[in-house]
Structure 1
Amino acid sequence: MDFCAIDFETATFDRSSACEVGICVVQNSEVVETKTWLIKPPSYPYFSPRNIDVHGIYPEDVKDAPTFDEIWYEMNDLMYGTLMIAHNAAFDAGVLRGCLNHYGIFAPNLNYLCSIQIAKKSWNYLPRYGLKHLAEHHNLSFNHHRAGDDAEVCAKISLLAFEKLFITSNDEIADVMKAKIKKL
């Protein structure tokens, strides 16, 4: 299976305010690379205190960081031609769309899937499906609400879920999860 897991952290409640992104690349059902970028958001230097409380990223952390449009092509190269998976994918797809729109960049032809849906199909007996709870259930440790760590744990949980469902290829993902796969 080939896919990428993605996670965004935002500076404000605005969908274009990405301040960190992480992408974990999976090839042949193995994690091969995880890349993280701090991003200077359009709202800089303003960050919502509530968002800072979640992820711990401050304006001074991104003062010398690139803007989204400066890293987009490198991000796109990592994601090109693969399925994108995110935990609570509606949020991350919304941030990606918001950033692309803000900078006038055409959205790629990208399919995405939510790892919560995959987890619910695989472990329908769990009381909660948050990333932290799924990671604890599978004994995966990570620095929660940091984009690279969240993306990598999302990828690992997805791989475990696919294994439980006996899914071994991208075609099988499409067959089993077809109603849940969305277009960016």
Structure 2
Amino acid sequence: MDFVAIDFETATHERNSACEMGICVVENGEIVTTKTWLIKPPSFPYFHPRNIDVHGITPDDVADAPVFEDIWHEAEELMYGNLMIAHNASFDAGVLRSCLDYYGFFKPKINYLCSISLAKKSWKNLKTYGLRSLADHHHISFNHHRAGDDAEVCAKISLLGFERLMLTRNDEINDYFLKNIKQL
């Protein structure tokens, strides 16, 4: 089973305002690496105070960071050919699409799955399915709302969900989640 878990933090309500991106790579059902990039968003130096309250990333933190355009090729290489999973995937896929559009990049054919859908099928009676709640349920500690940590927890939750559903290969995931898998 191979996939990447991805997470973005944004500077403003604009989807192209990614200020941090995290990717956790899973190969053969094991986490092999997690990569995090701080990103200088197009809105720089403006960050909405509410966004800062959520993730704690400030304009000073990204003042010397690369723009999305400068990190995309490295990120794309990690994602190439893999299923992408994100917690609340419509948000993260939207940020990725918006960043690619803003910088004029071709959108790769990436299939993605929301880990909330996976969690709801795996653990039917939980009160909530937020990333923090799922991590607490599984005794996973992490620094919430930091992209690398969120991506890694998403990967861990996904692996636990696949195990609970007895899915061990990508073709099984594709068959089981056929209606839930979308394309970037």
TM-score by length of 2: 1.00
Partner Cα distance (1:97, 1:110) in 2: 11
Map 1:1-80; keep pairs closer than 5 Å: 1-80=1-80
Partner Cα distance (1:61, 1:111) in 2: 32
Partner of 1:100: 100
Per-residue CA deviations over 1:92-115 (Å, capped at 9, x if unaligned) read 000000000000001001000000
Partner Cα distance (1:160, 1:167) in 2: 10
- Number of residue pairs aligned between Structure 1 and Structure 2: 184
Partner of 1:154: 154
Per-residue CA deviations over 1:23-57 (Å, capped at 9, x if unaligned) read 00000000000000000000000000000000000
TM-score by length of 1: 1.00
Partner of 2:140: 140
Structure 2 residue identity aligned to 1:56: G
Structure 1 residue identity aligned to 2:116: I
Structure 2 residue identity aligned to 1:89: A
Q: Report SS of the residue matched to 2:179.
A: helix
Structure 2 residue identity aligned to 1:65: A
Partner Cα distance (2:123, 2:115) in 1: 12
Report % sequence identity: 71
Quote the offset at 1:177 in angstroms.
Answer: 0.6
C-alpha RMSD of the superposition: 0.2
Q: Report SS of the residue matched to 2:51.
A: helix
Structure 1 residue identity aligned to 2:108: P
Q: Report SS of the residue matched to 1:106.
A: coil
Map 1:106-121; keep pairs closer than 5 Å: 106-121=106-121
**Unpaired stretches in structure 1, ≥5 consecutive residues:** none
Map 1:72-91; keep pairs closer than 5 Å: 72-91=72-91
Quote the offset at 1:173 in angstroms.
Answer: 0.2
Partner Cα distance (1:163, 1:119) in 2: 11
Structure 2 residue identity aligned to 1:46: Y
Per-residue CA deviations over 1:103-156 (Å, capped at 9, x if unaligned) read 000100100000000000000110100000000000000000000000000000
Q: Report SS of the residue matched to 2:43.
A: coil
Structure 1 residue identity aligned to 2:104: G
Structure 2 residue identity aligned to 1:14: E
Q: Report SS of the residue matched to 2:33.
A: strand
The structure 1 segments of at least 4 consecutive aligned residues displaced by more than 6 Å after TM superposition are none
Quote the offset at 1:88 in angstroms.
Answer: 0.1
Asked if 1:177 is matched to 2:177, the reply is: yes
**Unpaired stretches in structure 2, ≥5 consecutive residues:** none
Partner Cα distance (2:89, 2:124) in 1: 19
